[in-house]
Structure 1
Amino acid sequence: MIRPLHQSRRQRLPALAGGLVVLLVVAGFVGVALAALLAGRLSGGLLSAFADPVVRSVLSFTLWQAFLSTILSVGLALAVASALARQPDFPGRIWLIRLMAVPMGLPVLIGALGLIGIFGRSGIVNDVLTELGLAQPISIYGLTGILIAHVFFNLPLATRLMLSALERVPAEYWRMSASLGFSPLSTFRFIEWPVLARVIPGAAGLVFMLCVTSFTLVLIFGGGPAATTIEVAIYQALRFDFNPERAVSLALLQITVTGMILAGLSLLPAASDTGLTSGRRFPRFDGRRPLVRLADGLLLLLAALFLILPLGQVVVSGLQADLARLVSQAAFQQAALTSLGVALAAGLIATLLAYGVIAARAEIATTRAQNTGNRVFSLALASISSLVLLVPTSVLATGWFLALRPRGEIASFAPFVVTGINALMALPFAVRVLEPAFREHRARTGRLAESLGLSVAQRLRRVDWPVLKRPLLTALAFAMALSLGDLGAVALFGSENISTLPALIYARMGSYRSTDADGLALILGVICLVLALIGAPGTRETTNNRRERPDAR
């Protein structure tokens, strides 16, 4: 049965209206922050930033540490990905690949505490170096600590992107290289490098962007005059110096820098993790030589230790704390309730916004008349998820802080602002989780649902919800985990206005109560793990669907 044209339009209108509402809500939330930043400062804000030698120093360090972090992360990831690809029979290979997904979803504070326990003054590494007779141990603070922390969080991401590309190489290539007697170097030069060269620019650009906008890691390991990034300098200008003019100049500078980086990223080929990096086997003959197996085995063992030791340190140190006492404290209970409330609200908002964006874009894609208005609307919806990169959380928090300060209502509105910022931060991840499942589901059921003449409510209840409830739950769990571990927006508004678990952990670290901080970090990690397990069924289903359909993206 072919549906009448007016009925088809009636079906599309709710989705398009929902997309418009999402666009207006996000644009309004970001617009208020930008308006507060730019109010009366259009003439000299950015120019005064470049004229200030302190700001120029901060900008130089921001770009320098991001450059070094990117070189180290991508360079080491290249070696690890090649070793993983060459050794499909490496013991525990599948678990090492799965382990690399942990730092990407781990709250930054937890990883930072683990790194301090391993590389700190009393950490395992310095204890070993002292036993070997090294007089000057490694200092985890300053540029060295920032680089170690960035590599810890970005090495797994770059490795998975590269390994995903290597696993898509046809098996015939490896058989041909074996028949021609290629050495490992020749195999890398003629087979691996042409594939990786298309992935590395996008992966490097993504890592560089993450390092430029890094806040929590730099706040913990740097923060001094010689190791401060733009985002941390914004926080210091408002919280310690209370210099709104400098904060605004730095915020405009941050937008300029991120805008230039995003423009550069748009010119690079996108690097994506297709989800095939879970132990897929394919014939490799260049990794069977004893020396190659030994070198790859040592490299993979070091990579595994680099990821496992900090995580294990968090567990061991956390268990040494008096967890019962911590849980019974009023400060913890208040922070936990606030964190869960903000995370749930932010997760629901991010999931609803993501669904609205995806549904509207899907309806536009199925419209026969692709006029300029439709294309512009679809592009605007697609750009929403990039706003958090163009306007980082520190800039949004600064704008809302300045907007609320004249009203004297910062404390009462702080939870709502933090919730909005966290929802916007989680929006790109929610879109990435939902969109593949939504597109596949609509491709299978779209024409059938239209032919049955179902209303919008009936379609949502009887067709969409039974299939999309798991991806929706996964998106909600991921968004909540991201919100639970965020410190950026909360740090600016201060613990006197809103107290969350990350803010409480950071406060205990600042007061040298490291044992309590370790215990709180373990509790936060367990909560995030529970959320990950809740969302896991949707992840497995999406992955299985992708494997069943090799052409799915």
Structure 2
Amino acid sequence: MARRAVAVIETPRWPGRIAVALVLVVLFGPLVAVVWRAEGIAALSRADVSAIRFTVWQAFASALISIGFAIPVARALARRRFRGRQALITLLGVPFLLPVIVAILGLLAVFGRAGILNELLAAIGLPDVSIYGAHGVILAHVFFNLPLAVRLILQGWVAIPSERFHLAASLNAPIWQVLEKPMLRNVLPGAFVVIFLICLTSFAVALTLGGGPRATTIELAIYQAFRLSFDLAGAATLTLVQLAICAGVALLAFVITAPDAMGRGLDRVVARWDGSVWTDAAWIGAAALFLLVPLIMVVLRGLPGLLDLPPSVWGAAARSVMIAIVSAGLTLALALALALRGGGWMMIIGTLPMAFSGLVLGTGLFLIAFPLVNPTRLALPVTALVNSLMALPFVLRVLAPAVAQVETQFGPLAGALGLRWWARVRIVILPRLRRPLGFGGGIAAALSMGDLGVITLFSNGGASTLPHEMYRLMGAYQMEAAAGAALVLVTLSLGLFWLFDQGGRTDADA
């Protein structure tokens, strides 16, 4: 009787099991702690319902505007070739890695009360505008997520085989109808859901630009219930509501995929003849202006502020760098373990942190630590732990395809040579993952450097991070010093990303 074939396990499986257990414990343990310590949940107040409604509405509006703006920008970049194009695409991606609090300061320099826009309006006799409120929250979310939307949609455009364009031209068929619209129907739902989810769990944006009764998000309401009134039941209720919404959206993001309906071509670059060059240039210029001017203002206003930095900023900067390095290392270890284990369940586990918010995890960990130790002593380790989980979905998306590609290319040869377990990982896989490991580590370090979430719960000022210190300076109306701290923060964030990325490229296999 024939026996059923059994798959041979070629790489160690226990690191993947440990990673799964750690992710599940750190995600669901704090949630259980919040509900248990609250001794039940409370009824939603009118303010809570308003916060839930505003959170969903602003996330939908932010994602819709980001996608709507990104479509013509990505289309223009896809069909135009010009000097500096790749550098421009790289620069347009900087806001996604930029610390939130720094980007907000840059937006205030452009759209704030004393910003460039209001100065121009005053010069022509028009009333000024305010960035604070719902429109400011949406503006900031579009600033952060437009680069992500452009990259996601641009990948769809680049993936269309050049032979399809030649065929459409020979048949005199409309390219938009036969090629571009079908591609967008595949790509847009997934991109929209991912950006919607990011905006749904945003905290720092609502803390600095919202906060009023009509511009309070669930994250901000949880923070207020826990930090200001210590209403555990209210915080638990809002936590469960947010988790339900995020879990549903995260599941939708996992289910909605972009099938490859275009087939494969010969990887040739096609010279596009359709569309107006001036229209494409206008869209690219508008996106560059919107994204790069706030960054330039951060540099210009930050240089004079370097002279007014208090000593506490440098201590906070050192702590932030330490947290970022530890967080990046833990993220890489978890992502690599899950990627080596492989399979759909590993991707689901690695995507789970997108259904949680760092603030919710921090609240639960605070409640767990409170009876045992002074939570302020755990501010830095907890911040590093939560930051590592928040970056896990992004890093896993970088590593998992790279591991699968290495196994496809070199797995049969490694099996023929008898390379299994750690020898297979050490000799075959890791040397060919230097680039994605460096890039993923850079993403994790940059995201951790700019986090302003968990530290607001645990820190009492003695163990502050650089984003928290910058927020305190802004709250004390020391805007020049805050601008200097912002320049230090963005320099360290992008510097860490560059160091990790370059470290992955050094002597790496092509």
Q: Give the TM-score of the pair, scaled to structure 1.
A: 0.84
Following superposition, the deviation at residue 454 of structure 1 comes to 4.8
What secondary structure sits across from 2:272 in the alignment? coil
Is the 1:477–1:531 Cα contact (8 Å) retained in structure 2?
yes
Task: Give a deviation string over 1:263-289, Cα, whole Å, max 9, x none.
Answer: 3334422499xxxxxxx94221112xx
Distance of 2:273 and 2:412 partners within structure 1: 48
Residue 264 of structure 2 aligns with which residue? none
Answer yes or no: is 1:24 the counterpart of 2:21: yes
- Residue 320 (structure 2) aligned to one of 334, 339, 342: 339
- CA deviation map 1:164-214 (0-9, x unaligned): 1112223244334445556xxx54234321211111111111111111111
CA distance in 1, matches of 2:272, 2:417: 51
Correspondence for 1:246: 234
**Percent identity over paired residues:** 38
Please, which of 162, 185, 199 is the counterpart of residue 187 of structure 2?
199
Normalised by the length of structure 2, the TM-score is 0.90
Task: Name the CA distance, whole Å, in 2 between partners of 1:84 and 1:440.
Answer: 28
Match for residue 280 of structure 2 among 289, 293, 296: 296
- Hey, what's the Cα distance between the residues in 2 that align with 1:333 and 1:514? 17
* C-alpha separation in 1, matches of 2:136 and 2:398: 32
Q: 1: CA distance between counterparts of 2:149 and 2:374?
A: 43
In the aligned structure 1, how far is the partner of 2:443 from the partner of 2:22? Answer: 22
Distance 1:408 1:544 in 2: 47
Q: How does 1:269-348 map to 2 (within 5 A)?
A: 269-270=257-258, 281-287=269-275, 292-323=276-307, 326=309, 329-348=310-329
Change (3 A) 1:265 1:473: closer
Matched position secondary structure for 2:370: helix
Look up the match of 2:411. 446
Q: Quick one: which of 149, 156, 170 aligns to 2:140?
A: 149
8 Å contact from structure 1 (residues 412, 497) kept in 2: no
1:480-495 residue pairs with structure 2 within 5 A? 480-495=445-460
Describe the SS at the equivalent of 1:481: helix
Matching residue of 1:73: 66
Match of 2:482 in 1: 517
Q: Report Cα offsets for 1:307-326 as digits up to 9, x if no partner.
A: 11011011111112134x53
Q: Distance in 1 between matches of 2:506 and 2:193?
A: 30
* Residues 539 and 128 (structure 1), Cα distance of their counterparts in 2 relative to 1, 3 Å cut: farther
Q: Unmatched 5+ residue regions in structure 2?
A: 261-267
Q: Distance in 2 between matches of 1:94 and 1:336?
A: 31
Describe how 1:389-404 pairs up with structure 2 within 5 A.
Answer: 389-404=354-369
Aligned residue identity for 1:142: G
Whole-angstrom distance in 1 between the partners of 2:28 and 2:462: 23
Q: Quote the Cα distance in structure 2 between the aligned partners of 1:271 and 1:77.
A: 20
Is it true that 1:84 corresponds to 2:65 in the alignment?
Answer: no
Query: What SS does the corresponding residue of 2:371 show, helix, strand or coil?
Result: helix
State yes or no: 1:140 paired with 2:134: no
Moved more, 384-393 or 451-460: 451-460
1:38 aligned onto 2:38? no
Q: Which moved more, 1:454-463 or 1:510-519?
A: 454-463
| Structure-2 residue corresponding to 1:418 | 383
Shift of 1:224: 1.6
Query: Residues 543, 436 of structure 1: CA spacing in aligned structure 2 closer, same or farther, 3 A cutoff?
Result: farther
SS class of match (1:406): coil
The superposition leaves residues 237-279 of structure 1 with CA deviations (integer Å, 9 ceiling, x where unpaired) of 122222222111111111011122123334422499xxxxxxx
Distance 1:177 1:211 in 2: 38
Give me the whole-angstrom Cα distance separating, in 1, the residues matched to 2:385 and 2:172: 58
The letter of the residue matching 1:120 is G
Structure 1 residues 540 and 465 mapped into 2: Cα distance closer, same or farther (>3 Å)? closer
The 1:98–1:176 alpha-carbon spacing in structure 2 relative to 1, beyond 3 Å, is same
| Contact 1:437 1:468 (8 Å CA) reproduced | yes
Residues 130-279 of structure 1 mapped to structure 2, 5 A cutoff: 130-135=122-127, 137-179=128-170, 186-270=174-258
Among candidates 332, 352, 373, match of residue 351 of structure 1: 332
1 CA distance for matches of 2:162 and 2:345?
A: 41
CA distance in 1, matches of 2:259, 2:229: 41
Pick aligned residue for 2:117 from 121, 125, 128? 125
Question: Cα deviation per residue 1:354-406 (whole Å; 9 max; x = unaligned)?
Answer: 11111122xxxxxxxxxxxxxxxx44432222221122211111111222223
